[in-house]
Chains A and B, each alone.
Chain A
Amino acid sequence: MKIQELAERLELKVATKVFDRDVKGVYISDMVSDVIANAKAGDLLVTAQAHANVIAAANLVDTCAIVITQGKALADDVVRMAEKAEITVFTTPLNRWQMATKLYEAGIR
């Protein structure tokens, strides 16, 4: 599934330009060190963190996109950094567990 289709199905709010890619899997974590060690290329990263180092970690492991949970907003410089790295960032008012459930229901496993 492409991230644009997934975003529409899960009613995610787009925080950056959309750079459409296939979603290969999901990784849920709030630790950038954990993301660097364990996330895989093509994973959709679900996190409550909205700071610049999340973009740095997501770019390093080549995640397909990021979903920031609990309605957290991104600072303008973080949006610019994500767009430059061609990483799509979505936000959602849901928490990580609710997001995980919706992703599973959408067939992302």
Chain B
Amino acid sequence: MKTEPMTRRYEMVNVRPGYLMIEQENHTFARRSYFAAERTPPLEEYREGTQFWKPQEAAQTFQFDVRDTQNGKVMPFGELVGLLYYGCCGRDSTIYQIGDLAHDQRISLYVAITTEDEKGSAPLPLEKVRVLNALFNERLTSPGKKVLILPDLFGLRREITYQQIAIDFGLTSME
């Protein structure tokens, strides 16, 4: 039972397994996250100038780039942590209510969550958001089904936990 090959403009390339690391500074309690393409999560506390950073959580995930098959151009997505499905948010949240309205039109709403540092979340340029939407929508086969991926216009990163994002937290503790 094989799926018919389809012509798609965008393809996921350079898929790199690794870990999303979330760390906190010991004195200021500033938080930041980054992707570590290592075989085991780097869990050692370390000093950076006058700051001491301590890993708080690690989740298995992957990073990827997207290749435009029309011109061969590769767009990196190193700032992308993962996608947050509206259905994983609280029912009284703005994103859930928008997602619920979109759902009536067979549109599934996701928010692209990016890495963060002391200054806030990394911006995801609109051009990248467009490519991300094209990449995932090209994969769909259900009639009328659409996916809409938005940048984090809602400041959700401050309201949600990383466990709500579609990445693999707690997998190593699975029985």
Measured CB to CB, the residues of A under 8 A from B are 1, 21, 23-25, 30-34, 36-37, 40-42, 48-49, 52-53, 55-57, 59-62, 81, 84-86, 107-109
Contact = CB atoms under 8 A, between A and B. Distances in A.
* Size band of the interface chain B makes with A: 20 to 34
A59 B88 contact: no
Contact of B108 (A21, A85, A108): A85
A25 B3 contact: yes
Contacts, number: 87
A108 B62 contact: no
Interface stretch (B21-29, B40-48, B70-78, B134-142): B134-142
A3 B88 CA distance: 26
A31 B171 contact: yes
B87 A21 contact: no
Contacts of B129: none
Contacts of A107: 1
Contacts of B139: 40-41, 61-62
Interface of B: 1-3, 12, 15, 60-62, 64, 82-83, 85, 87-88, 103, 108, 110, 136, 139-142, 145, 147, 164-168, 171, 174
B108 A60 contact: yes
B3 A53 contact: no
A36 B136 CA distance: 9
B173 to A, nearest CB: 12
Nearest to B145: A62
A1 B1 CA distance: 9
A83 to B, nearest CB: 11
Given A32-B168, A84-B87, A60 B136 contact: yes
A33 B167 contact: yes
Nearest to B83: A60
Contacts of A30: 171, 174
B2 A25 contact: yes
A21 B12 CA distance: 26
